[in-house]
Chains A and B, each alone.
Chain A
C-alpha cells in the first residue's frame, strides 16, 4: 500500500540551477507533508513541511508546493549546491507517517 510515491529514483542538476523533486500521494486525508534529506550513514534530517491547508511554504533556498487537486507536491531548491547532493524523502502524515521511496539528487559542480 504505497500511499506516497516518488517516481523518480534519481535526479542530476548543475550547480546554481533549480532542482525540482516530485511526490504524489493517494490519501486525501493527509494533514501534513514533509521533506527530509538523507546523507549516507546518517538518519534523515527534516527540511521543510507544509500543512494541507496551504499551497506553498518557503524557507531560504527551499520551497514546497502543494497541489491538492492533483495530490501532488514538489520541493524546489534554488540555487542548487553540491552539498545538496543526498537522497530526498517525501513524507505525509495522517495518524502515522508515510514515506516515499526517495529521490537521489546529484548536484554537479
Chain B
C-alpha cells in the first residue's frame, strides 16, 4: 500500500552542521510530496512541497528534491540553527482516488549551540 518512511530519530547536530533527513515513499501514480515541521507544543506547519518529478521545494534554507527514480524526497539544510530543533514530517498526497494525505512517523531534530 501507499506509505512514507522516514529515518528514525532523534538526529542531534551542532549548530551550523549540514542536515539531511531521509524520506522515501511508496505510492501508486504520481503523488505530491511535502515536508511539515512541528515545533515543541505546537501544531504542524507546511515547510515545503513539490508536485512533480525533479521539482525542488525550498523554504527557510531547507530544500528537498522530488526524485521519482529513487522514490525519495530527502530534506536538507546547509547550516542548521538551534531554532531548527523540531520534529519534521514527510508526507505525500495521492492525486487520485480521494486525494488522501499520508504522513511519515516524524524525525526529531536537536540542534546544540
Bound together: no
Report A's interface with B, CB cutoff 8 A: none
* Chain B residues with a Cβ under 8 A of chain A: none
